[in-house]
A and B are shown apart, each in its own frame.
Chain A
Amino acid sequence: DAKTTQPNSMESNEEEPVHLPCNHSTISGTDYIHWYRQLPSQGPEYVIHGLTSNVNNRMASLAIAEDRKSSTLILHRATLRDAAVYYCIPSGGSNYKLTFGKGTLLTVNP
Protein backbone atom coordinates (compact mmCIF):
# COMPACT_ATOMS: atom_id res chain seq x y z
CA ASP A 1 0.00 0.00 0.00
CA ALA A 2 1.19 3.49 -0.79
CA LYS A 3 2.09 5.45 2.34
CA THR A 4 0.37 8.78 2.86
CA THR A 5 1.25 11.78 4.99
CA GLN A 6 -1.42 14.25 6.07
CA PRO A 7 -1.43 16.95 8.74
CA ASN A 8 -2.96 15.69 11.95
CA SER A 9 -5.27 18.66 12.14
CA MET A 10 -6.25 21.89 10.42
CA GLU A 11 -8.52 24.78 11.24
CA SER A 12 -10.63 26.95 9.04
CA ASN A 13 -13.21 29.66 9.36
CA GLU A 14 -16.70 29.25 8.03
CA GLU A 15 -17.19 30.31 4.40
CA GLU A 16 -13.46 30.40 3.74
CA PRO A 17 -11.66 28.00 1.39
CA VAL A 18 -9.76 25.07 2.85
CA HIS A 19 -6.83 23.30 1.25
CA LEU A 20 -6.11 19.87 2.71
CA PRO A 21 -2.75 18.47 1.56
CA CYS A 22 -1.67 14.88 1.18
CA ASN A 23 1.70 13.40 0.25
CA HIS A 24 1.70 9.98 -1.41
CA SER A 25 5.17 9.77 -2.87
CA THR A 26 5.09 5.95 -3.25
CA ILE A 27 1.85 5.87 -5.22
CA SER A 28 1.82 3.38 -8.07
CA GLY A 29 1.07 4.38 -11.62
CA THR A 30 -2.37 2.76 -11.64
CA ASP A 31 -3.57 4.02 -8.27
CA TYR A 32 -6.31 6.58 -8.12
CA ILE A 33 -6.26 9.11 -5.29
CA HIS A 34 -9.40 8.82 -3.22
CA TRP A 35 -10.62 11.22 -0.56
CA TYR A 36 -13.14 10.27 2.07
CA ARG A 37 -14.33 12.06 5.16
CA GLN A 38 -15.80 10.83 8.40
CA LEU A 39 -18.09 12.81 10.63
CA PRO A 40 -18.24 11.85 14.31
CA SER A 41 -19.96 8.51 14.96
CA GLN A 42 -20.69 7.93 11.28
CA GLY A 43 -19.27 5.81 8.52
CA PRO A 44 -16.91 7.45 6.02
CA GLU A 45 -18.36 9.39 3.13
CA TYR A 46 -16.89 9.52 -0.37
CA VAL A 47 -15.71 12.99 -1.36
CA ILE A 48 -13.82 12.76 -4.63
CA HIS A 49 -11.22 10.76 -6.52
CA GLY A 50 -8.92 11.26 -9.49
CA LEU A 51 -5.99 9.81 -11.39
CA THR A 52 -3.98 12.55 -13.05
CA SER A 53 -6.18 15.47 -13.96
CA ASN A 54 -7.75 17.84 -11.50
CA VAL A 55 -11.30 16.90 -10.65
CA ASN A 56 -14.33 18.86 -9.52
CA ASN A 57 -17.65 17.78 -8.08
CA ARG A 58 -20.38 19.35 -6.03
CA MET A 59 -18.53 18.69 -2.80
CA ALA A 60 -14.96 19.63 -3.55
CA SER A 61 -12.10 19.93 -5.99
CA LEU A 62 -9.05 17.72 -6.18
CA ALA A 63 -5.76 19.14 -7.39
CA ILE A 64 -3.20 16.48 -8.29
CA ALA A 65 0.47 17.32 -8.66
CA GLU A 66 2.00 16.63 -12.05
CA ASP A 67 4.28 13.95 -10.59
CA ARG A 68 1.29 12.52 -8.65
CA LYS A 69 3.28 12.43 -5.45
CA SER A 70 0.91 14.79 -3.73
CA SER A 71 -2.60 16.10 -3.97
CA THR A 72 -4.77 18.75 -2.36
CA LEU A 73 -8.42 18.55 -1.51
CA ILE A 74 -10.08 21.93 -1.82
CA LEU A 75 -13.29 22.87 -0.08
CA HIS A 76 -14.27 26.13 -1.69
CA ARG A 77 -16.39 27.48 1.16
CA ALA A 78 -16.16 25.59 4.40
CA THR A 79 -19.30 25.12 6.43
CA LEU A 80 -19.73 23.82 9.94
CA ARG A 81 -20.95 20.54 8.43
CA ASP A 82 -17.56 20.07 6.79
CA ALA A 83 -15.93 19.50 10.17
CA ALA A 84 -14.69 15.92 9.92
CA VAL A 85 -11.64 13.71 9.57
CA TYR A 86 -10.47 13.72 5.96
CA TYR A 87 -8.65 10.71 4.57
CA CYS A 88 -6.50 10.61 1.45
CA ILE A 89 -6.17 7.05 0.11
CA PRO A 90 -4.32 5.86 -3.00
CA SER A 91 -6.07 2.80 -4.35
CA GLY A 92 -6.76 0.99 -7.55
CA GLY A 93 -5.51 -1.54 -10.01
CA SER A 94 -4.79 -4.81 -8.30
CA ASN A 95 -5.04 -3.12 -4.91
CA TYR A 96 -8.73 -2.34 -4.72
CA LYS A 97 -8.93 -2.22 -0.96
CA LEU A 98 -9.07 1.09 0.86
CA THR A 99 -6.54 1.31 3.66
CA PHE A 100 -7.19 4.25 5.94
CA GLY A 101 -4.39 6.26 7.51
CA LYS A 102 -4.82 8.71 10.36
CA GLY A 103 -6.31 11.48 8.24
CA THR A 104 -6.65 15.19 8.97
CA LEU A 105 -9.09 16.44 11.55
CA LEU A 106 -10.64 19.60 10.13
CA THR A 107 -12.17 22.05 12.57
CA VAL A 108 -14.39 24.78 11.15
CA ASN A 109 -14.86 27.86 13.28
CA PRO A 110 -18.09 29.87 13.05
Chain B
Amino acid sequence: DIQMTQSPSSLSASVGDRVTITCRASQSISSYLNWYQQKPGKAPKLLIYAASSLQSGVPSRFSGSGSGTDFTLTISSLQPEDFATYYCQQSYSTPPEFTFGPGTKVDIK
Protein backbone atom coordinates (compact mmCIF):
# COMPACT_ATOMS: atom_id res chain seq x y z
CA ASP B 1 0.00 0.00 0.00
CA ILE B 2 1.14 3.55 -0.74
CA GLN B 3 1.33 5.82 2.29
CA MET B 4 1.04 9.59 2.05
CA THR B 5 2.51 12.08 4.50
CA GLN B 6 2.14 15.85 4.67
CA SER B 7 4.16 18.54 6.38
CA PRO B 8 3.57 20.57 8.32
CA SER B 9 0.42 19.21 9.96
CA SER B 10 -0.59 22.79 10.69
CA LEU B 11 0.70 26.28 10.13
CA SER B 12 -0.17 29.82 11.05
CA ALA B 13 0.18 32.50 8.41
CA SER B 14 -0.90 36.03 7.62
CA VAL B 15 -2.82 37.40 4.67
CA GLY B 16 -0.36 38.01 1.87
CA ASP B 17 2.11 35.34 2.99
CA ARG B 18 3.54 32.75 0.63
CA VAL B 19 2.62 29.30 1.92
CA THR B 20 4.12 25.96 0.93
CA ILE B 21 2.78 22.55 1.91
CA THR B 22 4.70 19.36 1.22
CA CYS B 23 3.32 15.91 0.42
CA ARG B 24 5.43 12.76 0.21
CA ALA B 25 4.51 9.32 -1.11
CA SER B 26 6.04 6.11 0.24
CA GLN B 27 6.88 5.06 -3.33
CA SER B 28 6.94 6.73 -6.73
CA ILE B 29 3.50 7.79 -7.95
CA SER B 30 4.70 9.60 -11.07
CA SER B 31 2.44 12.68 -11.32
CA TYR B 32 -0.71 11.01 -10.00
CA LEU B 33 -1.09 13.51 -7.17
CA ASN B 34 -4.09 15.72 -6.48
CA TRP B 35 -4.67 18.53 -3.96
CA TYR B 36 -7.93 19.43 -2.23
CA GLN B 37 -9.08 22.27 0.03
CA GLN B 38 -11.66 21.68 2.73
CA LYS B 39 -13.37 24.26 4.89
CA PRO B 40 -15.20 23.30 8.12
CA GLY B 41 -18.53 21.64 7.48
CA LYS B 42 -18.02 21.61 3.73
CA ALA B 43 -17.07 19.04 1.13
CA PRO B 44 -13.51 19.01 -0.22
CA LYS B 45 -12.80 21.05 -3.34
CA LEU B 46 -10.34 19.99 -6.04
CA LEU B 47 -7.55 22.55 -6.51
CA ILE B 48 -4.76 20.81 -8.43
CA TYR B 49 -4.77 17.54 -10.39
CA ALA B 50 -1.93 15.58 -11.96
CA ALA B 51 0.53 17.33 -9.61
CA SER B 52 0.54 20.69 -11.39
CA SER B 53 -2.66 21.26 -13.38
CA LEU B 54 -4.96 23.95 -12.00
CA GLN B 55 -8.59 22.92 -11.80
CA SER B 56 -10.98 25.19 -13.67
CA GLY B 57 -12.15 28.13 -11.58
CA VAL B 58 -9.34 27.87 -9.01
CA PRO B 59 -7.38 31.12 -8.51
CA SER B 60 -3.92 31.24 -10.08
CA ARG B 61 -2.30 31.94 -6.69
CA PHE B 62 -2.52 28.17 -6.17
CA SER B 63 0.14 26.06 -7.85
CA GLY B 64 1.47 22.54 -7.57
CA SER B 65 4.76 20.90 -8.44
CA GLY B 66 6.67 17.68 -8.09
CA SER B 67 6.80 14.15 -9.39
CA GLY B 68 7.86 10.75 -8.14
CA THR B 69 7.60 10.90 -4.35
CA ASP B 70 7.83 14.60 -3.43
CA PHE B 71 5.20 17.23 -4.15
CA THR B 72 4.38 20.76 -3.07
CA LEU B 73 1.31 22.98 -3.01
CA THR B 74 2.08 26.68 -2.99
CA ILE B 75 -0.23 29.59 -2.28
CA SER B 76 1.60 32.63 -3.59
CA SER B 77 -0.28 35.25 -1.58
CA LEU B 78 -2.60 33.91 1.12
CA GLN B 79 -6.11 35.34 1.06
CA PRO B 80 -8.70 35.32 3.88
CA GLU B 81 -10.75 32.67 2.07
CA ASP B 82 -7.73 30.32 1.91
CA PHE B 83 -7.77 29.46 5.60
CA ALA B 84 -8.72 25.80 5.44
CA THR B 85 -7.34 22.27 5.59
CA TYR B 86 -5.45 20.98 2.56
CA TYR B 87 -5.17 17.32 1.58
CA CYS B 88 -3.04 15.58 -1.00
CA GLN B 89 -4.24 12.35 -2.63
CA GLN B 90 -2.52 9.74 -4.76
CA SER B 91 -4.38 8.18 -7.70
CA TYR B 92 -1.52 5.96 -8.97
CA SER B 93 -2.33 2.59 -7.41
CA THR B 94 -3.86 -0.25 -9.36
CA PRO B 95 -6.22 -1.52 -8.07
CA PRO B 96 -7.07 1.94 -6.81
CA GLU B 97 -6.54 3.01 -3.20
CA PHE B 98 -6.93 6.80 -3.66
CA THR B 99 -4.97 7.36 -0.46
CA PHE B 100 -5.26 10.80 1.12
CA GLY B 101 -2.60 12.52 3.16
CA PRO B 102 -3.42 13.40 6.78
CA GLY B 103 -4.04 17.05 5.95
CA THR B 104 -2.45 20.42 6.67
CA LYS B 105 -4.50 23.02 8.53
CA VAL B 106 -3.77 26.61 7.58
CA ASP B 107 -5.00 29.14 10.10
CA ILE B 108 -4.65 32.80 10.86
CA LYS B 109 -1.54 34.02 12.64
A, B assembled together: no
